[in-house]
Chain A
Amino acid sequence: MGQSLYHKVFDRHCVTQLASGQFQLFIGLHLIHEVTSPQAFAMVREQNLSVPFPDRTFATVDHIIPTTGAGRQRPLQDPLAEEMLQHIEQNTADFGISFFSPDKNDQGIVHVIGPERGLTQPGMTIACGDSHTSTHGAFGTLAFGIGTSQVADVLATQTLAMAKLKVRRINFSGALQPGVYAKDVALAYINRLGVNGGVGFAYEFGGEVIDRMTMEERMTVCNMSIEGGARCGYVNPDQTTFDYLKGRDYCPEGEAWERAVADWQNLASDADADYDDVIEIKGEDIEPFVTWGITPAQSVGVGQNLPAVDSFAEADQIVVREAYEYMSFEEGQPIVGTPVDVVFIGSCTNGRMSDLREAAKFVKGKKVAEGVRALVVPGSQEVARQAIAEGLNKVFDEAGFQWREAGCSMCLAMNPDQLQGNEISASTSNRNFKGRQGSPTGRTLLMSPAMAAVAAVEGKVTDVRKHLEN
């Protein structure tokens, strides 16, 4: 029986089995941001520990950073945000850790800059005090979101105590229909397997649909693994992976590059690998998805009506009822036509070049519907530069979108970009939890960038396939 990538990479990094039965894993790349690291540095200082591998940790600021030029002037207007920024500046300086910062124009969302810089490489173990670390799995890595105590563990030892996971292969066969995107693939598997279907598992995404995807699309699929309960998700590395990485800042060059590729090729799951579970999803069956509730699994194909409460298992009905009440939606109503107040295009799920390009296609020459507030927030300053070079900022600007600077923005309520009251947003982010976008009564509909762009133009949830000929 062959091995899956999960086990190959796990074995390479295993230091020892701990008394608890868990394994001590070496962590090849540690990413940190301003929200979950200050307390970890405090723990390290309190225990008088050192950071033995400072060159394997990289920092950025993304959650609290304002996304307007004026808002980014120091000191930041919000004293709490300023304090967090100062802490990460001080901590990275004190411990000799690289910091991708607005001052150097290389700041961005942690899960956008890791791959963009070529820090994320196949076969690595990656940890970050952030759930969406699973994004990096697109490169054939084991990438885990961790808590703050564990961030301190990695700082102090470059290792983590981890249990071994089971591996579920999710095979997407066939091809996607026009108007169906990586985001829909992600929402589809979460809809199918539920928000806790992945507990205890690593998800391996494969099949023709995934094979054909670009790296950015694979990142979108892996990004949402955690929303399906899986501790991590990955795609086996292939030529697409190598082509993406070649020439990036932190990647090896020349002969070293050849050695790296040879190594990476061996890491992919063997054809006869043993999986704990295998799921098949037909690419043709996936519709453009929209969430209607308060968990990422509460979604429907854009052509469908909202499900009846009693179509859910009894145990799930409480949260389904709660979702209907919170969203002020009715069972059986179509999702199409739902008016939106805000459109947010960005986040570590869909804030990369290909996302902005795709959204721009549906916006070009159109106007944002009256009364709709629409934001485009590039995932990093590098994405912003490229987009500007391609003139995308103009396209959005002329249509009436606000073109912003890089950050997490309206994905979560830690910076000035927030919903007001019970506004409904069409959002390309990954979480539709109650209050997630800043207003305790704000409502979030998750969808692909193309669907969000069309929603901005129409002022309501619209089937992107109707706009395809344009």
Chain B
Amino acid sequence: MAGKIVTEITGPGIPLRGNDIDTDRIVPARFLKCVTFDGIGKHAFADDIKGLAVKGETHPFADARFANAAVLVANQNFGCGSSREHAPQSLQRWGIRAIIAESYSEIFYGNCVSLAIPCFTADHETCAKLQDAIESNSEGDLTLNIAAATATGPCGTIALQIQPGAQSQFLDGSWNARTGLLENLDAAKAVAEKLAYVSNYA
């Protein structure tokens, strides 16, 4: 069973400014004590939200204007830190269905692909412009086209980048890598047989 084909994602945006937002901030470690991902969405940015609330400020993920957001716009090195999938799972279960950022940590990016969350990249000016536009019109939908790698919304149509490998995986439904891997199980076993360490160099 291949995954569903993902061609387009439409929904309101949410701006999240700052570089190097790590996975511990996306979902603090104490919420990782779970054996399923159910319910992890409500812990997204829990500590950052609290930290700002103390100062009388509102984190975007606690801001009623963005409560229905589906498209997250971030900056550099988004999702750095841990390999744990709890971070993208938490974003997805909160409602995020696509991300635009200047850059990503690789493991986070890969985890997003395997959850069918397309991650686009754009330069700093573009991300800042999108963040400003969402800020001033939080109701407006952004439409992300996977094949064209564009975002259409309050500021017209903007060109984005998407990794070609990931792009084709969304378009043909093969983002769920497991299906493809399972097909080659015999070939994998043949590779294992040739690896001397598999038989402990016997």
Please state if B80 and A80 are interface contacts (CB–CB under 8 Å).
Answer: no
Closest to B194 in A: A12
Report if B180 contacts A (CB, 8 A). Answer: yes
Contacting pair B24 A149 (CB below 8 A):
no
A68-124, CB < 8 A from B = 78, 80-81, 83-84, 87, 121, 123-124
Contact between A78 and B33 (Cβ–Cβ < 8 Å)? yes
Q: Mark A388-417, 1 if CB is under 8 A from B, else 0.
A: 000000000000000000000000111000
Which of A208-216, A254-262, A363-371 lines the interface with chain B? A254-262
- Taking residues whose C-beta sits less than 8 angstroms from the other chain, chain A's interface range is 35 or more
Nearest B residue to A49, CB-CB: B182
Q: What's the Cα separation between A129 and B111 when bound, in Å?
A: 11
Of A22, A84, A147, A196, the residue contacting B83 (CB under 8 A) is A147
Interface residues of B in 146-202 (CB under 8 A from A): 164-166, 168-169, 172, 174, 177-178, 180-182, 184-185, 187-189, 191-192, 194-198, 200-202
A28 touches B198 (CB 8 A): yes
- Are A161's CB and B177's CB within 8 A? yes
Q: Are A24 and B181 in contact (CB under 8 A)?
A: yes
Task: Considering the complex, give the chain B residue whose CB is closest to the CB of A131.
Answer: B83
Q: Is A338 an interface residue (CB 8 A)?
A: no
A415-446 contacts to B, CB under 8 A, are 431, 433-436, 438, 440-441
- Our pick among B114, B115, B182 for the contact of A157 (Cβ within 8 Å) is B182
| Contact, CB under 8 Å: B192 / A231 | no
- The distance in angstroms between the C-alpha atoms of A207 and B113, with both chains bound, is 37
Q: Are A121 and B197 in contact (CB under 8 A)?
A: yes
Report whether A256 and B201 are in contact in the complex, using a CB–CB cutoff of 8 Å.
yes
Cβ of A152: which chain B residues have Cβ within 8 Å of it? 178
Nearest CB of chain B from residue A65's CB, rounded to whole Å: 12
- Structural contact, A196 and B182, CB atoms closer than 8 A: no
Most chain-B Cβ atoms within 10 A of its Cβ — which of A52, A231, A433? A433
B124 within 8 A of A: yes
Q: What residues of chain B lie closer than 8 Å to A441, measured between beta carbons?
A: 51
On whether A36 and B19 interact (CB within 8 A), knowing A80-B34, A414-B29, the answer reads no
CA distance A200 to B17 in the complex (A): 23
Contact B110 A256 (CB under 8 A): no
- Of A49, A146, A259, most buried by chain B (CB within 10 Å of CB) is A146
* A to B CB contacts below 8 Å, 12 in the list: A13-B195, A28-B198, A36-B84, A42-B35, A84-B34, A130-B83, A145-B82, A150-B111, A156-B182, A157-B184, A196-B103, A231-B107
With A129-B85, A149-B115, A413-B30 known, 11 other A-B pairs at CB within 8 A are A20-B177, A28-B195, A146-B83, A147-B83, A149-B85, A199-B77, A226-B107, A257-B201, A318-B19, A436-B29, A441-B51
CB-based closest 3 A-B pairs: A145-B83, A147-B85, A147-B111
